[in-house]
Structure 1
Amino acid sequence: MTTRPLWWDNTPPTTRHVLTDDTSVDVCIVGAGFTGLWSAYYLLQTDPSLSVLVVEAEHVGFGASGRNGGWVSALYPTPPERLAAASGDAAARAQYAALRDSVAEVGRVVRTEGIACGFHQGGTVVVARTEAQLARARAEVAHAEHWGLDVRLVDRAEAAERLSATGTLGATYNPHCARVQSRRSIH
């Protein structure tokens, strides 16, 4: 049984030839997830004369890249304080800036290459419905400001407008997240 991402509109992946012979290339990339495919893309942008081979044991996007629900985001599981403890404040800020820039870069490449994937950079909204949640949202925004992150507090009206949610007191908004609506173009 083949594991398939949920977002594949019941369309089978494009089959590729199995690599059976010795092959000589300038660069061989193991893994056809986001990292592997983006590496191949930028290598060829930098030097179109390179021969680049991307190999994948399963299918394009088989691993985590295919199970992320179509999100590209600058959300990061490690807090800036932990990065700063290991590498300094400037490196932590630079890491988060690179994450934010990467979301915009995905959008730029999608537009430049004419990839019909429904890319939309709408951001992430986390709703506060209680005073305690609103206090945490305010603390998150203050923390984000300290680290140069682009998270802001939105009022009740904007939170309700963005989500059509009821009972909100406010929310946090991070614009550095995007979604992809259709994956047919990458099969």
Structure 2
Amino acid sequence: MEQLLAWVKKLAVFMILCSYMEHLIPSHYKRYFHMCTGLILILMISTPLLRIVHGDMESEVICLLENLRTSSKGYQTDSTLEQEYRDYYMSQYKSAVTEQIEAQARSEGLCAEKITFSVDEDPESSSYGCLTDLALTVTKENGRQAESSAVTRLKKNISRQMGIQESRIHLSDSQTLLVRQ
């Protein structure tokens, strides 16, 4: 929500400055000014949308995690409604984590075939919403056995991005276990 508010503020400041500058520019340059400011405005509007489309899921995962935390405290009156709300956001969070792990694997030239993980679902815990275990089956995108260097990089990237210890990540291919603890 704060990001949206900051984005709207930037657009408003830009539009105010453009209207002020328009009065300072000679009339025969106004069409060039309008063209340039129009292109800049298009970029300012499309940048957040392109991030969402191109899979910048990290901010979305953080937002979902924050919704999980606030929803567990916000609905204390009706326990069934609270549980439904928490279950909905947890399922959304899990699907976003799955997409993020698949994107990480693709960035290493790997294909994530089977993703199994567990999440701390205790709202009172300080690690609420964090991954506790991750099991992942990977192959190369062409179907062959994955190289251990790519798997090691993937493991480090997932550990850093998801905040899970590398020892809790278990990667394997369809034949053998690639990385142990």
Name the TM-score, length of structure 1 as normaliser.
0.28
Return the structure number with greater helix share.
2
Name the TM-score, length of structure 2 as normaliser.
0.29
